[in-house]
Amino acid sequence: MMIIMNTDANQKQVDQVMVKVKSLGFEPHVVYGEERTIIGVVGNNPYMTTRDQYARMPGVDRIMPISRPYKLSSREFIPEDSSFPLDGVDIGGPGIVIIAGPCAVEDRVLISEIAHAVKEAGAHALRGGCFKPRTSPYSFQGHGEKALKWMAEAREETGLPIVTEAMNEEQIKLVASYADVIQIGARNMQNYSLLHAAGASQHPVLLKRGMSSTVEELLMAAEYILSHDNRRVILCERGIRTFEKSTRNTTDINAIPVLKEKTHLPVVLDPSHATGNWNYVTAVARAGIAAGADGLIVEVHTEPENALSDGFQSLKPERFATMVRQIRTIAQAIDRDIAVSSHAAPEMK
Ligand code: PEP
Ligand code: MN
C-alpha cells in the first residue's frame, strides 16, 4: 500500500511514519516526489492489517492499496518514468540508449577492438559475457575474472560503461567491482537468491525476461531487487519460447508497450537473442524502438564467423552502424532521439 503524505508534510513527519511502519513489521520505501512524499509499504497484506494505524498521524493525507501483485515496480506507486544515469547517459529518459558488444569476452585485443568499433558506431555502453550460461556444459563458459579485467580495460580506453552477467550469488560482488551494470540472464530470472543479492548490491541491474516467463513474472522478479531499495533496474525483453521454429525465439513486441504501461522502470529490447539470426536483428531492433523501448542491447562482433558464442546472431560493426542510424530516424519519428552522453565530445563545427 501507499501512505500519501500531505504536500506540506515535513521530514520529521515522514520519519515518524517510517518508524511506525517498521514497528508494525513492514518495510517502508520512501519516494520523494516533486509534489509530495509517498511511502510504499510492502510485506504480506499491509493494507488489510495496518491501514488504520496511520490515518491520524501528522502529515498523512491518505492511504491507498496498490492493486497489482508487483508493488514498487508498478506505475500505481511511481507514475512517472524512472530514469538513472549510466556513467553520463540517462537510461529511461527520452533518449534511446544502445548497449552493444560480443556475446562473450574472448580475449583482450578483441574486446578492445569491438569496444572501439561499437563506440564509433554510436553505442553508449559495452556488453560482453565473462561468465556464460551455456546450454551445453561442453561449450565455452567464459574467461571469468580475467575477462572482467579486459572489459575494465576496454572501458578505460573508450569511456563506455560496461554491462556483464553474474550467474550466481557468489559472483555478484566480483562482477559489481568491475561492471557498471550487472546483467541477470534469462535462465536466472527466477533465481531468487541471485535477485536478492543483486538488490542488496545497490548496483544497477539489467534483468532479462525468462524465456518462458510472463510479463507479470518479470515484474515480480524485478520486485525482489527493488525490495532492497535498489531502484536502478532495467528490464529486458529478449524473446520467448513459442512453437515457431524459424527463429531462435519469438520477439514479444507486445511486451514493450505492456511493460511501459505497467511499470515505471526502463525497458530495453535484445533483438539478438530474440531472433538468433543477424539477418533479422536490425528489423526487430527498429520494431522495438517503434514500440516504445528505451534502448537496445545488441550483440556485435568484428569476426562473427569465428565467435566462440552466438556468432550467427552478431552484427558486424558496419551493419551495427547502419542499425544505429536507422534507430535514430525511428526515434525521431516518435519524438525521441538517441541519448547523448554528457561525456561525448562536443561536435566539431
Ligand atoms: C546474453 O546476453 O549473452 C545471454 C546469455 O542472454 P539470455 O540470458 O537472454 O539468454
Ligand atoms: Mn549471447
pLDDT digits (tens, 9 = 90+) for 207-218: 999 999 999 999
Q: CA angle 256-178-72, nearest 5°? A: 40
Query: Hey, which of 103, 234, 312 would you mutate to test ligand 1's pocket, going by the most ligand atoms within 8 Å of its Cβ?
Result: 103
Q: Chain-centre distance of CA 36, in angstroms?
A: 27
The number of the ligand 1 atom at minimal distance from the alpha carbon of 132 is: 5
Share of the chain above pLDDT 70, in %: 98
Is ligand 1 within 6 A of the CB of residue 284? no
CB 225 within 8 A of CB 199: yes
Taking the centre of ligand 2 as the mean of its atom positions, its distance from the CA of residue 268, in whole angstroms, is 16
Taking the centre of ligand 1 as the mean of its atom positions, its distance from the CA of residue 141, in whole angstroms, is 13
Of the candidates 303, 285, 184, 173, the residue with the CA atom closest to the CA atom of residue 233: 184
Is ligand 1 within 6 A of the CB of residue 186? yes
The number of the ligand 1 atom at minimal distance from the alpha carbon of 309 is: 3
Tens digits of residue pLDDT in 101-119? 999 999 999 999 999 999 9
The number of the ligand 1 atom at minimal distance from the alpha carbon of 236 is: 9
Mean pLDDT of the chain: 96
Q: What is the mean pLDDT of residues 227-231?
A: 97
Query: At 344, is the pLDDT very low, low, confident or very high (cuts 50, 70, 90)?
Result: low
Residue nearest to atom 1 of ligand 1 (CA): 103
Q: What is the mean pLDDT of residues 286-297?
A: 98
Taking the centre of ligand 1 as the mean of its atom positions, its distance from the CA of residue 73, in whole angstroms, is 23
Enter the C-alpha cell of residue 115.
569496444
Query: At 326, is the pLDDT very low, low, confident or very high (cuts 50, 70, 90)?
Result: very high
User: How far apart are alpha carbons 333 and 292 in whole angstroms?
Assistant: 11
Flag whether pLDDT at 347 surpasses 90: no
Taking the centre of ligand 2 as the mean of its atom positions, its distance from the CA of residue 15, in whole angstroms, is 46
Query: Hey, which of 114, 183, 188, 315 would you mutate to test ligand 1's pocket, going by the most ligand atoms within 8 Å of its Cβ?
Result: 183
Enter the pTM of the model.
0.96
Taking the centre of ligand 2 as the mean of its atom positions, its distance from the CA of residue 212, in whole angstroms, is 17
Of the candidates 204, 236, 203, the residue with the CA atom closest to the CA atom of residue 219: 236
pLDDT at residue 349, as a whole number = 40
Is ligand 1 within 6 A of the CB of residue 119? no
User: How far apart are alpha carbons 317 and 191 in whole angstroms?
Assistant: 34
The number of the ligand 1 atom at minimal distance from the alpha carbon of 270 is: 9
Q: Which residue has the cell 551494470?
A: 181
Query: At 345, is the pLDDT very low, low, confident or very high (cuts 50, 70, 90)?
Result: low
Is ligand 1 within 6 A of the CB of residue 248? no
User: How far apart are alpha carbons 339 and 299 in whole angstroms?
Assistant: 19
Q: Is 196 left (phi over 0), alpha (psi -120 to 50) or beta?
A: alpha
Taking the centre of ligand 2 as the mean of its atom positions, its distance from the CA of residue 272, in whole angstroms, is 7
Residue nearest to atom 9 of ligand 1 (CA): 186
The number of the ligand 1 atom at minimal distance from the alpha carbon of 238 is: 9
Taking the centre of ligand 1 as the mean of its atom positions, its distance from the CA of residue 274, in whole angstroms, is 10
Is ligand 1 within 6 A of the CB of residue 129? yes
Query: Hey, which of 127, 139, 165 would you mutate to test ligand 1's pocket, going by the most ligand atoms within 8 Å of its Cβ?
Result: 165
Q: What is the mean pLDDT of residues 167-181?
A: 98
The number of the ligand 1 atom at minimal distance from the alpha carbon of 209 is: 9
**SS3 of 194, please?**
helix
Q: What is the mean pLDDT of residues 223-234?
A: 98
> Burial code of 214-233, b = ≥16 C-beta within 10 A, e = fewer?
ebebbbbbbbbbbbbebbbb
